[in-house]
Structures are given as structure tokens and as C-alpha cells.
Chain A
């Protein structure tokens, strides 16, 4: 089956034909490759969340169509028969801990699989696997999810999506509000799911450092349009453009720019700390060798 995600001239207007109408996507065409780790960035309100919610047909396009997993979603798509699609496309919303409702952690994680007709036993097994994956201790399974810390609740919510064994995982700002350790753990989890379980990961984020550390593809959105799609190197090659998009350079590139302004002759704009250190080392040690 064709596994790529294909947007074909998709437009989305919220509350269309009302005085509250709000254009959120404007003629978007893009292909997200299977197995990629794609980051979606852009200013607040640029349409990132709207875009990703089309992938599992939570939102239907106002015009245009989306092809995903052999399904075509167009303005006439109804809410029927979308279960298979939604099982393939796991969606972790911003602040996903808000969706928890069961009495115990394990029950909440089992909720998804059971909706897809998995037996109680298998659902429990899938849930336990998912708990391990996100690093939740076994002895938490009978606790109420509401008694957990913020970071743990977030993990329960993510486990609830992973238990359905999706092939595409969409993460909408999964680390908002987490402390540095929690942040790193969630991002490392995404990487592990990508590298080891071969999931397609789509990450909506405001953290440029995560983009260069984890993503292979980047989509930049501005006022409902996709204004750039490429690898991190291409995206961050023009600082002025990046700023005009309400975005930032990754810390290393930002620092490198400042070094260049101060007269340090760096040849490339390094995106990661390792590359920046390489560049500096080359300048320093390369020079020493010449002496």
C-alpha cells in the first residue's frame, strides 16, 4: 500500500460561511515521505495543528484532498469508516494529559486498543508494552492517572496512543511545559520509535534545537501556507528569512552568526553543537599546525 501522506491543494476554513469564519490552511500541497522524521514549524496560529489534524481526518478539507494509507479524504468524507485510518495514524495532542479519564493508568492506556476490538488480554499486553516504551514504572499501572505528576501523566497519554501500534505518529508540541529532563526523554522516545520501530514521526514544535537534533525533514508554515519544505540545512540557511517567519536559528547557528559578526571566519553555519565545535576546532588547531 502507498504509505506516503499526500496533501493536494488543501484549504481549510474553520466555521465556514459564518461571521466567525477563519482561514487556517491556504492551498497546501505537500508530500510527507514514509519513514521520515518531519518537523513542522511556524508562528502561533500559522496552521500547524490544523494541518496535522487532516492526516487522520479529524478535520476535513474545505477544498482539496489528502491521500493517506490508500484512503482519500475530501470535503465529502464522513465520519464513518475512519477507524482503520485512525489506528494507523496515532495522534498526540498538545497537553495530551487532558484526555485522561479512566480510574487507573492501565485502563486508560487500554482504552484505544479496546476501541479497535482487541481482546481484553491483548489490550493489557499492548498497554504494558507501551508503558515500558515510554518508561513508566509497572507499579504505576493500578494508580489513578490523576494522582501522577505532570510529566508522568503526559507519558500515560502518549502510551495510550502507542498501545494502538500506529505506523505514523503525530506529536503536537509534546514537550510544552516539561522540565529539561522530561523534554529530552520524550524527544529520545520519538527518535527511538523512528529508528527502531520505523514509525513515520511528525513533530509540531517551537524548539529549533529539537528540529536540528531529531528531524530529517522540515516544513515551515506561515499564515496557512507551506512556505518551505526541505532538510534542516536548507531551512536554516538564510537567517533573515528565518527571523521573518517568526522563528529562530538553532542555538548553534545563532551563536555561529554572532561569532562571524565578531570577525571569526567560520566557513559554514553549523546547526548542531558538535558541528560548531568541529568548525571552531578546525580554525584553532588548523592554525596551530601551520605554525
Chain B
């Protein structure tokens, strides 16, 4: 659990750390869009190479990085399996009732797996290298146009930053509660499915009440420090567009063009 990386910030001075949050955020969005244009081995391969380069430039070791997102990979594999079993078409290898496995569903399943993986990797890099407040700041800037239609951009951004800020706290709390219930004889992660679901209750109830408690304390503390709304605030940090941002954008745009070029039409 403590290896879980998604949503955590790792202080550092790498290339990616130094980019402006707005441009990182936009690049991530852009990258996700490009992913949906990929439809063959070559397109997926080039995007994978790109993301690996990004991970390297974020200063986090790749092995560790992959280990850190492993908990999520199980979730993806589960989704992919469902996808494979329920889709139809192509040459059928095996079937049972509504389930079937065919060559196209296998290939599609593989692509979906890679697609998920790429999305998780880019968002993990984003949160690993960008402080929660900076991400919130980025969201605020990016979504600014929506203010015209009275969308609560600032509030959304602040909520996001606090949610991210509390990821590690809640992780720690989860670990403590797991340990407390283990001391009372609970065996998490063993036994039948029914048993496992039952074992989740003593974890989830305290986790939920704990989260509410933290949230209440935090909002009290914020109010006490003069917070009223997220709109009327000045900014301690400014993030300027730098050459690093320009270079990254050029690289990402080139890969985007490449993907359009080599995808199956």
C-alpha cells in the first residue's frame, strides 16, 4: 500500500518538475487525446517510448515507477478481462454462455491495457512532479473560460488541491486502521470472496469516518485562516512559461503528428 504512487508528490528539481503546471496539465490532456488515435502496434509503441522518456526526465526510476502503479494494474487487468470476455467478432477460440474469447477481442484487450497504462503513467508523472496547489492552479488557469458560464472553476481547483494534499494522509490512516484491525484478528486478503467483502467493513467504516473528520478539521482550519472563497486570493507562486515547456510541446506535437501518420486509417 505504501508503495502506491498515484496522486503523490515527490519533491525534486528534474526537468519535468521545473515545467510550468499549466503546460504539464495541458500536455497530459493532449497526450490522453492522442492515445485515443492510436490503433496499431506502431502507434502504441511510439507513445510508450515517449512516456518512458518523460518518466526518465522526471527523475524517478522506471522500475520503481512501475512498482508504484502496480496496484492499479490489477484494476485494469480486471477491466480488460471483462472486455475480452464480453466482446464478440473475429475468430472464436473459446466460448461459454455469454462469454467468448476471440482473436480480435484479445488484440483489443491488449490495446486497452496499454491505453490505460499510458493514461495512468502520464497522470502519475503529473502528480509526482507537481505540488497539489500547483495542479489546482493549472486547472484554474486551464478552465478559466468556463467561468463565463458560471462554472465554479476556483472552488473546483481548490477542492482538487486539498484532495491531492490529503492522499498521503488518508493512505497512512488506512494503514493504521488495517493494522489495528489485524491486531484484532482480521485476515485481510485471504479466504473466500464473501469473507473478503466482510473483512472490508471494519476497514471502510473507520476510513470513511476518519476522512470526514479530517475534512471537517481542515475546513475549520482553513476558515480560521481567513479563507472564504477561492476567487479572491493572491498568488504566492507564479509559474512562467519556460524554454523547457516549449521544447516539451514541440516533442509532444511531433509524436502526435507521427501517430496520425502511422495509424491504420
Q: Do any beta carbons of A and B sit within 8 angstroms of each other in the complex? A: yes
Residue numbers of A with Cβ under 8 A of B are 14-15, 17-20, 53, 56, 58, 79-80, 83, 86-87, 89-91, 93, 96, 98-101, 111-112, 115-116, 146, 160-161, 164
Shortest CB distance A12–B (Å): 12
User: Which among B185, B187, B189 has the highest number of chain A CB atoms within 10 Å?
Assistant: B185
B2 touches A19 (CB 8 A): no
Contacts of A96 in B (CB 8 A): 180
Complex Cα distance, B68 from A160, in Å, reads: 35
Top 4 closest A-B pairs, CB basis? Answer: A115-B185, A101-B205, A99-B180, A112-B184
Partner of B177, one of A80, A83, A99, A116: A99
Contacts of B64 in A (CB 8 A): 17-19
Complex Cα distance, B85 from A116, in Å, reads: 40
Q: Which of B162-205 contact A (CB under 8 A)?
A: 173, 176-177, 179-187, 189-190, 201-202, 205
Complex Cα distance, B183 from A140, in Å, reads: 24
Shortest CB distance A159–B (Å): 11
Residue numbers of B with Cβ under 8 A of A are 2-3, 8, 10, 60-61, 64, 67-68, 173, 176-177, 179-187, 189-190, 201-202, 205-206, 209-210
Complex Cα distance, B206 from A90, in Å, reads: 19
A160 touches B3 (CB 8 A): no
Contacts of B68 in A (CB 8 A): 18
Contacts of B190 in A (CB 8 A): 79-80
Mind listing 12 A-B residue pairs with CB under 8 Å? A17-B64, A19-B10, A79-B187, A80-B190, A86-B185, A93-B179, A98-B176, A99-B181, A101-B201, A112-B185, A116-B185, A161-B184
Q: Which residue of A lies closest to B177 (CB)?
A: A99
Contacts of B173 in A (CB 8 A): 98
Contacts of A161 in B (CB 8 A): 183-184
Describe A's contact surface by its main secondary structure.
mixed
A56 touches B201 (CB 8 A): no
- Given A18-B3, A111-B202, answer yes or no on A83-B180 (Cβ-Cβ < 8 Å): no
- Given A15-B2, A18-B64, A98-B210, answer yes or no on A91-B176 (Cβ-Cβ < 8 Å): no
Q: Which residue of A lies closest to B183 (CB)?
A: A91
B184 touches A164 (CB 8 A): yes
B60 touches A58 (CB 8 A): no
A19 touches B60 (CB 8 A): yes
Contacts of B184 in A (CB 8 A): 99, 111-112, 115, 160-161, 164
Contacts of A58 in B (CB 8 A): 179, 182-183
B182 touches A86 (CB 8 A): yes
- Given A15-B2, A91-B180, A98-B180, answer yes or no on A164-B185 (Cβ-Cβ < 8 Å): yes
Contacts of B2 in A (CB 8 A): 14-15, 20
18 new A-B pairs (CB below 8 Å) besides A101-B205, A146-B209, A160-B184?
A19-B60, A19-B61, A19-B64, A58-B182, A79-B189, A83-B187, A90-B183, A91-B183, A93-B179, A98-B210, A99-B180, A99-B184, A101-B206, A111-B184, A112-B184, A112-B185, A116-B185, A161-B183
Complex Cα distance, B76 from A146, in Å, reads: 37
Shortest CB distance A192–B (Å): 21
Complex Cα distance, B190 from A111, in Å, reads: 18
Shortest CB distance A18–B (Å): 5
Q: Which residue of A lies closest to B205 (CB)?
A: A101
Complex Cα distance, B205 from A106, in Å, reads: 17
User: Which among B10, B176, B181 has the highest number of chain A CB atoms within 10 Å?
Assistant: B176
Shortest CB distance A165–B (Å): 12
Q: Which residue of B lies closest to A160 (CB)?
A: B184
